[in-house]
Amino acid sequence: GAVVSQHPSRVICKSGTSVKIECRSLDFQATTMFWYRQFPKQSLMLMATSNEGSKATYEQGVEKDKFLINHASLTLSTLTVTSAHPEDSSFYICSARRDRAYGYTFGSGTRLTVV
């Protein structure tokens, strides 16, 4: 199979602090991982594409200095929400693709609440 592990599943943080979310491919190597954001009752919006060993590619309107992405190995990508504010509260989901024919596998998601 193709398993993607995402941690933490839930996090509550105070406004102004930073939160790191990890996304790991457990049984395959992923040169590319994707980070999505989902607001309640809405679809997934791609935030950025994480590339192993290079800078992430951010979608238009996503602040790269606020949402730091690091893809230091073929099995791990991290998303750090810096100086979080209540409007950053959302469901964050990562995904990775084992190969083009297999399709994308999604992590279990992280529910971020900024208070």
Partner 1 sequence: ELKVEQNPLFLSMQEGKNYTIYCNYSTTSDRLYWYRQDPGKSLESLFVLLSNGAVKQEGRLMASLDTKARLSTLHITAAVHDLSATYFCAVDSNNDMRFGAGTRLTVKP
Residues that bind partner 1 (CB under 8 A): 6, 32, 34, 41-46, 49, 93, 95, 100-109, 111
Q: At its nearest, how many Å lie between partner 1 and the CB of residue 16?
A: 27
Nearer to partner 1, 14 or 40 (CB): 40
Closest distance of CB 41 from partner 1, Å = 8
Question: Minimum CB separation from partner 1 for residue 49, in Å?
Answer: 8
Q: Which DSSP category does 107 fall into?
A: -
Q: Based on CB atoms, which residue is closest to partner 1, 5 or 82?
A: 5
The nearer residue to partner 1, 68 or 109, going by C-beta atoms, is 109
CA dihedral 33, 64, 22, 47 (to 10 degrees): -50
Buried b (16+ CB within 10 A) or exposed e, 86-115: eebbbebbbbbbbeeeeeebebebbebebe
